[in-house]
Amino acid sequence: MSEPDNHPPPIHPLSRALWHFSPQWFLIPQGTGIIAILLHQLHYQFGALPILAKIVWIYTIALFGIALILYTLRIMLYRHHVAHELRTNLLETSCLGSIAVTFTSVIEMASLQYGSTAGLAIYILWWISAAISVLAVIAIPYVQLKLQPYGLERLPPAILLPVIAALTAAAGAGVVCTSADISVRLQVPAIIVSYLIIGAGFGLAIAFSSVVLLEHFSRTYPTTDKVYQDMIICGPFGQGGFALQSLGAVVLDGSFAQYDRGTLITAKAAEPIGYISQFFGRSRNGDWHG
């Protein structure tokens, strides 16, 4: 059983709203960030679409900044309540992964727009987002396993959000290496680290998805009011597939061939690694066209 929260919520409406400001609010800028990238990358472009994509991107940054400020204030003013939620509420910890996803999507959009002029700065920001994502995929499941109430019935699909954060960071490396003006010597470490992240992320995604599906099959009365959360199960495999495709494209584009050192990072190894990466990426997404 979860421990009770002995700290009553404040009476003032604004204070009460801040008291209840959970990390689930970060799902909003996470979604708008992805929409901005999709608008920018659509094959069917028209004159106003890049402007619209930039507006949505700026809107995402504003929402993300406001959410970070409010959540930081919540931690500062109601730290005991936040600590209680992190110890007992699985959604509270899982949705922290959305912070990393949003940050990575902002960096991806920046790379697509300003990669030719600010490539090094964007590359550094990607390493920061990768570190945050790796921390999330390690620390959040650890907290959930060690501190929070256990039981299969307590595992909603939202538990996959930290995994999505890690795989999004790996996909971001492909975007940055493709669109940012950075040297091959900078690209190769990001590619290698991203493949390692994908390996860890897919393993956790398969394990967590299996547990979530098992809980679905063993449940007598599914909760229809939360069935929309099942869409989260698609997230790790979609992002992971895109990461494999984008990284494979970078490898085939000559990053390994130009680096040409060691055993695997060579011109001879680049072609099989790149094609295998794209093959598995497409198999994860079910995309066999183009």
pLDDT digits (tens, 9 = 90+) for 90-127: 888 889 999 999 999 999 999 999 988 998 999 999 99
Residue 191: Cβ-neighbour burial (10 angstroms; 0-12, 13-18, 19+): buried
Residue type (1 letter), 136: A
Task: Indicate left, alpha or beta for 151 from its phi (over 0: left) and psi (-120 to 50: alpha).
Answer: left
Count of structural domains, the chain:
1
Residue 88: Cβ-neighbour burial (10 angstroms; 0-12, 13-18, 19+): middle
Residue 2 forms part of a structural domain: no
- How far apart CA 140 and CA 93 sit, in angstroms, is 6
Residue 8 forms part of a structural domain: no
Structure pTM? 0.87
Residue 162 structural domain: 13-285
CATH of the domain at 53: 1.50.10.150
Residue 290 forms part of a structural domain: no
Residue 185 forms part of a structural domain: yes
Q: pLDDT digits over 225-257, tens only?
A: 666 677 888 888 888 888 999 999 888 888 888
Residue 263 forms part of a structural domain: yes
- How far apart CA 199 and CA 137 sit, in angstroms, is 12
Joined together, the tokens standing for residue 251 give 């490898």
Share of the chain above pLDDT 90, in %: 40
Residue 115 forms part of a structural domain: yes
Residue 118 forms part of a structural domain: yes
pLDDT of residue 290: 43
The predicted model gives 6-11 an average pLDDT of 72
In three-state form (DSSP H/G/I as H, E/B as E, the rest C), the secondary structure along 148-200 is: CCCCHHHCCHHHHHHHHHHHHHHHHHHHHHHHCCCCHHHHHHHHHHHHHHHHH
